[in-house]
Structures are given as structure tokens and as C-alpha cells.
Amino acid sequence: MSTPASRCAGLRRRGAGDGSGMWLHRREADRLASLASYRVFGTPSEPADEAAARLAALACAAPAAMVCLVGREHLWVKAGYGLRVAPGPPRANSPCSDTVALESTLVIEDVASDERYADALLALPGPKIRAFAGVPLVGRDGLPLGTLCVLDWKPRAFTRAQLENLAALADSVVTRLELRRVDRAMGRDPDALMADALDPVRLRQAVDEDEFTCHFQPIVRLDSGAARAFEALVRWRHPSLGVIPPALFLPAMERTGLMHALGRSVLHAALDLAAELGAADERQAVPKVAVNVSGTQLETPGLADTVADALAARDLPARALCIEVTESVPLERGCAAAELAALRALGVGIALDDYGAGNATANKILELPVTALKLDRSLTAAVAQSARSRAVVRSSLVMAEQIGLEVSCEGVENAAQRDALVGVGATIGQGWHFSMPLERSQLVHYLGRCGCAPVEPAGVAG
């Protein structure tokens, strides 16, 4: 078997003059960028990492093993079994670093006989590492992130079967890293979400035990503040943490089957409110309620039927409901398009949410059967600050009027924003300047103070 030094002969080397240089992967800059995209370097150990290290040691009949990520200057032991390693040991003269540089399995049967590693490894505190076998953790970008390695306190060889088992376990480690990266891209970010939201079993329990509830934010006439509709906004009434806002849990649910159950719960709560307020209103006006629907709900057939049944059960007209959609999936194709068309055929309003931000752009108005636009809060925040922002909002209002769409402005937080919106022609909006999202029990007091305008058959921007 060739020595690591001879196998690294064609690789770029840094800091070789002092004898502690590092062999670098041939695409080192790209490799480091790939590692950074996983956002795991420097994070604590997790049970799955610990299990992988333990299984690696068992598979190779070794007393110790590590899941080790290789950074620019230092290593990060993501998980260890059978040994303790100081946080962030230096990368220089590390067999883990060289495994990454080689991008292939590296076996050192006797550390004491290899001058490159003997001084570094034999000087570590604790049991002396005498044998090493490591396989690279190669991510989906095709670049090595680190190693899964096993260690022994005596010189030894490793069988082909043991190294194959080690490689198979390395694949499982990488698969989990990939899932973590995909989860982050889809909103399941452990740095942004509460811990319970990352546990599917806990989320299912919360759904089953009715821990999710709805608050309702009035959508009002900007000039008078009279409520014209109500948007249903889900909250998690956590048994130990209190009321949790959706930003801390909803992204974790939006691409799972749990969204169907949660969506039905929100729909029923909103329509219950519409029925209750309509029955109590002497003018027999039916307050419109708006419900957000995720792409996951639209990708599965049956949403329009569920809505039709829920309206019929409460003897509500379809105009009492507005469905708000954002482009979390390609809404203009396949099942999503069919469900939206069926909802519109019922007479339910369709609002394009977050208009003016992200992918909620003008071409969606042509592709989707929308009846209303909801201007993104970023436009509302800017409208009082610059003539350019006012021109953008004014042009959106003119365009919407010309094609028969109603417009609601989100995130109206102060009088200056309200006045600027009125000045450019906006008539409907919502935000904390008018009311925070209210529990159902608070709406009676709110309506007694602010009133509720009748809802026209044409529908209100929800």
C-alpha cells in the first residue's frame, strides 16, 4: 500500500516549510463553500451522529470512532465514541484532513511508523492512537466534508469488509446531512424554529390535542377603520410555553402531511366565526373571512370539496370566504391549478398574498384565477418614505382596478403609512395600527368599538 505522502504528491500543499503543512483538496475553496452550506461545522453533537460513530466502532471492532468535519484550519468532531477530543483540534498533520485531501479511504496500520502522524497523534492526551481507518464524507455537491473514522490503541490491519461497512455508514451520515440542508432550504431551520416544531411526533400530538388555535386580524377600511373582513392566523397554544407565533413552527409543517389537518382546523374555525357574526348581525351581512392555504394543501386533490362541504354545513355563501395563496409551489400547473379553479367556480375569492415580494409577481395574475391582491408589507413600510415607493403602490392599484381586482395592504403599522396609502388611492388594509390579531372572544368588544361594514357580493380582498 502506498504511503499517504506519496498519494498526496499531486495535491497542493500549504505551509510546508515548517513541517506542519496541510495537504489540500484539489478544489479546496469549493469544498469549504460546500461545507459551509450545510451549517453544521461547530454545532453540537446529535443522537444520530453519536449512533453513527458507535456503529462504526462496532463494525470495525475498534474501541473508538469519530464523525469529523474538516474546516479551513481546524477539525470539528461532530460526534465521538470511546474517546474525548478537545474542541476544534488543528487540522495540520491530521489523517482526517488527509482523507479529505485524498478523497478516498485512508488506512494507517501503525501510526508510530509514519513520521507524518506520529508526533501529532502520539502526543494527544489519553490513550495513544496507533491505528486509523477513515472514509470521506462526500456530499451531494461531490466534495468531501470530513470523515467517518475508527481508531485503535494498538497497531492493526482492517479487513475489506470492515472498510466497506465503514463506507456504508459514511453514506448514511451524509444522507442525514443532506436532509438537514434540504430542511433548512424548506424552512425547517433549527436556528429559527422552536425545538418542538422540529419533532414530527410532537407536532402530530399538538394537532391531535387541538393545541393550535386561530387569532383573527381585522381587514379594515383605511379611512374609517371599520372592519370589512377577518384573516385567520394560526397560533400554537403550547402547554408550557404559552402562545407561540407561526414563524416559530409553521415552516416546519408547510411541506408535511400535517398541513392538511392544520389547514382543515383553521378553515373550520374561520367559517365558524363567519357564521356566528353573520347570525348576530341585524343587517344580515356575512363577514368575509380569509384563510391562508399552503402549496402542500393545493398539491393534493380535495381542497375545493372540503371547502364546499364546510360552507354547506354552516349554510354560508361562498363569498364569505377568501383563500390566500403564495407561490410556495408552482400554483399554475397540475393539481394546484385545478383546485384553485374549482374554488373560484364555487364563488370563493382567491387572493394572491405577498404581492410585490418574492415570486408573487404580475405574471401570477395572468396564470391564476385571482380576485384580489394583498400588497406585501415591505411595500407598505416603504410607501411613507419615498416617492418611488408611492409610485409603485399607485401603479399596482391602478392596474388592479383596470382588471377588476381588489387590493388590501398588509402591515399597516402607523398613521403615516395609513395616510400615505390613502394618498395613493388605497382603500383597504390591515395591521397593528388598526388592531393586533385577536382571539375570538375579543372580537365582540372590537366590533362594538369599530363596527363591521357589510360585505359586497363581489368579495373583499382577504
CB burial string 227-251: b at 16+ within 10 A, e below: bbbbbbbbbbebeeeeebebebbbb
Task: Tell me the residue ranges of DSSP E strands in 174-281.
Answer: 212-221, 227-238, 242-244
Least trusted range by pLDDT, from 3-17, 28-42, 144-158, 392-406 = 3-17
Confidence of residue 360 (pLDDT cuts 50, 70, 90): low
pTM of the model: 0.71
> Is pLDDT above 70 for 144?
yes
Q: Are 28 and 72 in contact (CB under 8 A)?
A: no
195-450: CATH class: alpha beta
Average the pLDDT over 197-212 and give the result.
91
334-354 pLDDT, tens digit per residue, is: 888 899 999 999 999 999 998
Q: How far apart are the C-alpha atoms of 131 and 152, rounded to whole Å?
A: 5
> Is pLDDT above 80 for 240?
yes
Give the pLDDT score at 328: 55
Each domain of the chain, given as residue ranges in start order, spans: 4-185, 195-450
Alpha helices in 72-224 (DSSP H): 95-102, 115-122, 160-185, 200-208
Give the pLDDT score at 383: 93
Q: Are 298 and 335 in contact (CB under 8 A)?
A: yes
> Is pLDDT above 60 for 41?
yes
Average the pLDDT over 357-366 and give the result.
70
71-93 pLDDT, tens digit per residue, is: 999 999 999 999 887 778 888 88
> Is pLDDT above 70 for 19?
no
- The percentage of the chain sitting over the pLDDT mark of 90, rounded to a whole number, equals 62
- Nearby residues of 146 by Cβ (< 8 Å), 6 or more positions away: 35, 67, 68, 69, 70, 75, 76, 78, 96, 100, 136, 137
272-322 pLDDT, tens digit per residue, is: 999 988 766 554 456 689 999 988 888 889 999 999 999 999 999 999 999
Q: Are 139 and 163 in contact (CB under 8 A)?
A: no
| Residue 234 phi, psi (nearest 5) | -80, 145
> Is pLDDT above 60 for 437?
yes
Average the pLDDT over 405-420 and give the result.
95
Q: How far apart are the C-alpha atoms of 131 and 157, rounded to whole Å?
A: 8
Q: How far apart are the C-alpha atoms of 155 and 110, rounded to whole Å?
A: 5
Give the pLDDT score at 461: 45
Q: Are 46 and 77 in contact (CB under 8 A)?
A: no
Give the pLDDT score at 454: 43
Instruction: Establish how many alpha carbons lie within 13 A of residue 146's alpha carbon, considering only the half-sphere containing its beta carbon.
Output: 27
DSSP-derived 3-state class of residue 134: strand
- Nearby residues of 383 by Cβ (< 8 Å), 6 or more positions away: 389, 390, 393, 417, 420, 421, 424
Pairwise pLDDT comparison (439 vs 255), residue with the higher score: 439
Pairwise pLDDT comparison (291 vs 44), residue with the higher score: 291
Pairwise pLDDT comparison (68 vs 185), residue with the higher score: 68
Give the pLDDT score at 424: 95
Give the pLDDT score at 7: 54
> Is pLDDT above 90 for 50?
yes
Give the pLDDT score at 189: 74
Q: How far apart are the C-alpha atoms of 47 and 64, rounded to whole Å?
A: 16
Task: Tell me the residue ranges of DSSP E strands in 347-415.
Answer: 349-355, 372-375, 406-409
Q: How far apart are the C-alpha atoms of 68 and 95, rounded to whole Å?
A: 11
Give the pLDDT score at 388: 92
Give the pLDDT score at 339: 93
Long-range contacts (CB closer than 8 Å, 24 or more residues apart) made by 37-42: 37/141, 37/181, 38/139, 38/145, 38/177, 38/180, 38/181, 39/181, 39/184, 39/191, 40/69, 40/78, 40/177, 40/180, 41/69, 41/71, 41/76, 42/76, 42/88
Q: Are 366 and 331 in contact (CB under 8 A)?
A: no
Q: How far apart are the C-alpha atoms of 301 and 306, rounded to whole Å?
A: 10
CA angle (369 as vertex; 364, 372 as ends), nearest 5? 80
Confidence of residue 333 (pLDDT cuts 50, 70, 90): low
Give the pLDDT score at 125: 67
Rounded to a whole number, what is the distance in angstroms from the first to the last CA of the chain? 71
Average the pLDDT over 56-72 and give the result.
96
163-176 pLDDT, tens digit per residue, is: 999 999 999 999 99
Q: Which fold has domain 4-185?
A: Beta-Lactamase (3.30.450)
> Is pLDDT above 80 for 445?
no
Q: How far apart are the C-alpha atoms of 216 and 343, rounded to whole Å?
A: 22
Q: How many CB atoms lie within 10 A of CB 346?
A: 16
